[in-house]
Chain A
Amino acid sequence: MQGGGGGSESGSLSTVSREDNMVVSSEDSSCPDESELELGLGLCLGGFKMHQVSRGGQFARILTAKDFPSAISASPSPSSSSSSSSSSSSSSLSRANVTAGTKRTADSVAAANSSSQVVGWPPIRAYRMNSMVNQAKNQTTEGFNSTMENHKSETSTVEKGTTGISSYHNSGNAKLRKSLFVKVNMDGIPIGRKVDMNAHESYEKLAKTLEDMFLKTTLNVNPAGSRALELGMMNKLTRSSKLLDGSSDFVLTYEDKEGDWMLVGDVPWKMFLCSVKRLRIMRTSEATGLAPRLHERNCQRQRSKHI
């Protein structure tokens, strides 16, 4: 969650965060006791530690192929505390989850790598957003005859404005780049999203984005915060924490060009980009039976390709 402040500071927050922390720590006792609210989803494969989202607070991890053979060490999070949310109790949860408008520390700005945490807000059509990403352009404007109006190359101001969403991913280095949006669906959520594959350089970054997209949107957002709404949100949080039971962990899978569903993370990132058609965040219960076979099939295919 967007810098939820101290978990114990506000009455309504503490219960939930404590519960979550308890569940968290029961799964991995070596996990640092985060003061922010955390929802971690993860299979515990002996010594497995949780990823921390740099913004701290609530997060969930989506597993990739890397998680199965080996553990990934957690990077400690610079717990960026959002200043606004620690004060008031009732709406802190809601406001904290609302990205736009809450004051953020420099840490969180630098770490910005996710799109809006509120689904469908601001209300801009997907088409326009896709176009904005493609606005990333080469700022050099030389090669022009001197009889033309002498025009300074555009400043970084424009660059920032120009690159739109891509400014997150190509910070300061706006270059012409096509976006590669693929659909992402998560089991249990009827509404899919789209994610720009070319805006990520690695599986970790992709996983982070997807976590932000899917596992934060289960919270109801209402900064006007009525009591009933707050309760509703608390219910939702408790509900989400049930996911930690282990029965509904998630893995990330993708459909490749040949229509097969594969576990994400098997192949080098660049190769993955070439073959991914769409993504699915699948329940582990469905995927665990699948994983070995997926690996097998992958090997078989690769073998047959060499024939």
Chain B
Amino acid sequence: MEPSELKRSKDSPNSDESTRRSSFPDEVLERVLSLLKSHRDRSSVSLVCKDWYNAERWSRTHVFIGNCYSVSPEIVARRFPKIRSVTLKGKPRFSDFNLVPENWGADIHAWLVVFAAKYPFLEELRLKRMAISDESLEFLAVSFPNFKALSLLSCDGFSTNGLAAIATHCKNLTELDIQENGIDDKGGSWLSCFPESFTSLEVLNFANLSSDINFDALERLVGRCKSMRVLKLNRSVSLEQLQRLLVNAPQLAELGTGSFSEELTFRQYVELESALSNCQNMHTLYGLWDAKGIYLPALYPVCTHLTFLNLSYAALRSDELAKLLAHCPRLKRLWVLDTVEDKGLEAVGLNCPLLEELRVFPADPFDEEIIHGVTEAGFVAVSFGCPRLHYVLYFCRQMTNAAVATIVQNCPDFTHFRLCIMNPGQPDYITNEPMDEAFGAVVKTCTKLQRLSVSGRLTDLTFEYIGRYAKNLETLSVAFAGSSDWGMQCVMGGCSKLRKLEIRDCPFGNAALLSGLEKYESMRSLWMSACNVTMNGCRLLAREMPRLNVEVMKEDGSDDSQADKVYVYRSIAGPRRDAPPSVLTL
């Protein structure tokens, strides 16, 4: 039955009521709306009028839930009857850095149970920071006969046994994307669970896992899945094995190599190079674990059409990177380790004029005495050569206000500016002043800024700037910064589009927390840890704003009046019932 027919028979027995309402027939409206993909557009549409609300909810096939506790699965199922694809995010982002207790929640199972009843034809599930057990994975595998795509990013609670269940039962699987999870790796036999008749896989990413897999099974799998376009191997796959896989899969668009380091004979090297050169569709390269500089030239044939190169697991030197980049003129996204140093970044600026995104990760984040890594000079060099740069994540040990001012002058289109000066509270190393002017320059110049992470020694002035200028800012991360409540008050008062605010170790207290009273309902969430917020402040917030969930995570032995970690988020599902004892809901 057509969705529109079903709806009409349910909602309006008199089918010709269109003259009473709008002149737009329902089917046309629904048809048009079904073409809308962006969930924000859809939200806007649903607010127009009741008809549009209904048309939208009947035509929506994908739902994005940014905070799993903001809504319940029952409410979702009631509103959207036709969902085929779900994206769910769970824990606060700081759980990635061990700031959230392990049993905090965000378990997927309750959702799966509802989905099994209401969306038996569910095809896709994408989870981020959720807890998912092997039992849940098995349940998923057997409950949805049409299931096609599973993506798990930064999740935990499961093992390779769960993957085995997916491989065994999901006959129509096209995507299995296991990324950066806390997975209990019990061995690689799960891969052999894909039946010999299974040929539909298009995306396979198991780079997360460390154990050896049955290579023969993998080779056969890749050989028979002719539509495979994304293959990300784990470290246990050798160069020689990689070559064998590539020979059977020249159509690959994205490749994550395995270990790039064993010794090859000359013949093996030539074969590898040849296999790679046949991959004319390849635009993304990833992995390159332990990459040895000598083998990198094998990649040159692929480099010419690469747009995304992820070298963040390969500790390359500056000269090695420079040689490689000379062959990558079309690069748009580059991730590297800071072993490439400023000189390597100069090479980026020289060779990659189309670069839009750069991420530089620290190879040795905890060694304070290290004199290597990247400095402000590298970032500046990139900015001169790459005017289209709009996304940066930069870990460094020193920075200056002047450098940042130059950078944003060269690249005014930043949408994501994430600067991490790794020493908390470090000032401009030349002038010894706070880094206020640096971030002031960023927000004044980059009017399209959506996401900002600040670091270094910062006073309230930084936040005055942010509140005054960052009018498009949606996500702000703050650590070890600010001087008083005023800083946070500026942000809450000025950043009208703010959706996510995460703060740690700042001198913001109750006045700051409560200054956002009106704002939190229009935000997804607020995180404040190791600040000056007290339980009373949180209670007041919870009392004044009943539609917010105010959760406090207590640490044992701490002062009863201090609210060590506060997580505030809007919810139409009310307070959650699965919080562990260390989490108090006010």
Residues of A within 8 A of B (CB): 95, 98-102, 104, 109, 112, 115-116, 118-129, 131-132, 134-135, 137, 141-145, 147-149, 151, 154-155, 157-158, 160-165, 167-168, 178, 187-193, 218, 220-226, 228-229, 232, 235-236, 239-240
Contact = CB atoms under 8 A, between A and B. Distances in A.
Contacts of B420: 122-123
A224 B368 contact: no
Interface stretch (B36-44, B198-206, B258-266, B326-334): B258-266
Contacts of A228: 507, 509, 532
B457 A239 contact: no
B559 A161 contact: no
B160 interface: no
Contact of A223 (B96, B457, B532, B562): B457
B558 A135 contact: no
Contacts of A189: 555-556
B481 interface: yes
A221 B580 CA distance: 26
Contacts of A236: 558-559
A128 B555 contact: no
Nearest to B338: A161
Which 10 residue pairs are nearest across A and B when measured between Cβ atoms?
A101-B423, A120-B97, A223-B425, A188-B556, A161-B339, A190-B101, A145-B266, A162-B315, A100-B423, A190-B582
Contacts of A118: 424, 505
Contact of A120 (B94, B366, B554, B558): B94
A121 B315 contact: no
Nearest to A110: B369
B559 A120 contact: no
A137 B363 CA distance: 14
A98 B421 CA distance: 13
B545 interface: no
Nearest to A157: B372
Nearest to B479: A121
Please indicate which of the listed interface residues A102, A121, A131, A165 has the most CB atoms of chain B within 10 Å of its own CB.
A121
Interface residues of B, number: 81
A161 B315 contact: yes
B107 to A, nearest CB: 17
Contacts of A188: 555-557
Contact of A224 (B290, B312, B337, B457): B457
A221 B582 contact: no
Interface stretch (B72-80, B111-119, B292-300): B292-300
Given A99-B368, A190-B555, A224-B483, 7 more contacts: A98-B424, A119-B98, A127-B182, A142-B263, A155-B317, A162-B315, A224-B457
Contacts of B133: none
B426 interface: yes
Contacts of B99: 119-120, 191
Interface on chain B toward A: helix, strand, loop, or mixed SS?
Answer: loop
B189 interface: no
Contacts of A229: 507, 532
B50 to A, nearest CB: 44
B261 to A, nearest CB: 6
A295 B180 CA distance: 39
Given A190-B582, A223-B480, A101 B426 contact: yes
Contacts of B235: 134
A191 to B, nearest CB: 5
B395 interface: yes
Contacts of A165: 364, 366
A218 B364 contact: no
B290 A149 contact: no
B480 A222 contact: yes
B97 A154 contact: no
Contacts of A161: 315, 337-339, 363-364, 372-373
A139 to B, nearest CB: 9
Contacts of B98: 119-120, 126, 191-193
B365 A224 contact: no
Given A160-B372, A190-B555, A143 B263 contact: yes
Contacts of A149: 294, 297
Given A191-B98, A229-B507, A221 B530 contact: yes
Interface in B279-313: 289-290, 292-294, 297, 312-313
A1 to B, nearest CB: 15
Please indicate which of the listed interface residues B366, B372, B484 has the most CB atoms of chain A within 10 Å of its own CB.
B366
Nearest to A239: B557
B216 interface: no
A132 B363 contact: yes
B364 A116 contact: no
Contacts of A190: 101-102, 553-556, 580, 582
Interface string B495-529: 00000000011110100000000000000000000
B269 interface: yes
Interface of B: 94, 96-102, 154, 180-182, 208, 210, 235, 261, 263-266, 269, 289-290, 292-294, 297, 312-313, 315, 317, 337-339, 361-370, 372-373, 395, 397, 420, 422-426, 457-459, 477, 479-484, 504-507, 509, 530, 532, 553-559, 562, 580, 582
A238 to B, nearest CB: 10
Contact of A226 (B180, B208, B484, B582): B484
Nearest to B93: A123
B307 to A, nearest CB: 22
Contacts of B509: 228
Contacts of A128: 180, 312, 361
A192 B101 CA distance: 7
Nearest to A119: B98
Contacts of B94: 120
Contacts of A132: 363-364
Contacts of B261: 137
A222 B505 contact: yes
A151 B294 contact: yes
9 contacts: A119-B99, A122-B422, A123-B97, A129-B365, A154-B317, A155-B317, A161-B339, A190-B554, A222-B506
B532 A235 contact: no
B96 A221 contact: no
A241 B365 CA distance: 30
Contacts of B315: 135, 158, 161-162
Contact of A131 (B313, B367, B482, B553): B313
B480 A239 contact: no
Contacts of A239: 557-559
A148 B397 CA distance: 37
Nearest to A227: B507
A192 B423 CA distance: 23
Nearest to A219: B530
Contact of A147 (B100, B266, B312, B395): B266
Contact of A160 (B269, B370, B422): B370
A302 to B, nearest CB: 27
A168 B582 contact: no
Contacts of B96: 123, 125-126
A191 B507 contact: no
Nearest to B102: A192
B550 to A, nearest CB: 18
Contacts of A143: 263
Contacts of A104: 368-369
B509 to A, nearest CB: 7
B292 A141 contact: yes
Given A189-B556, A191-B102, A162 B97 contact: no
A151 B85 CA distance: 50
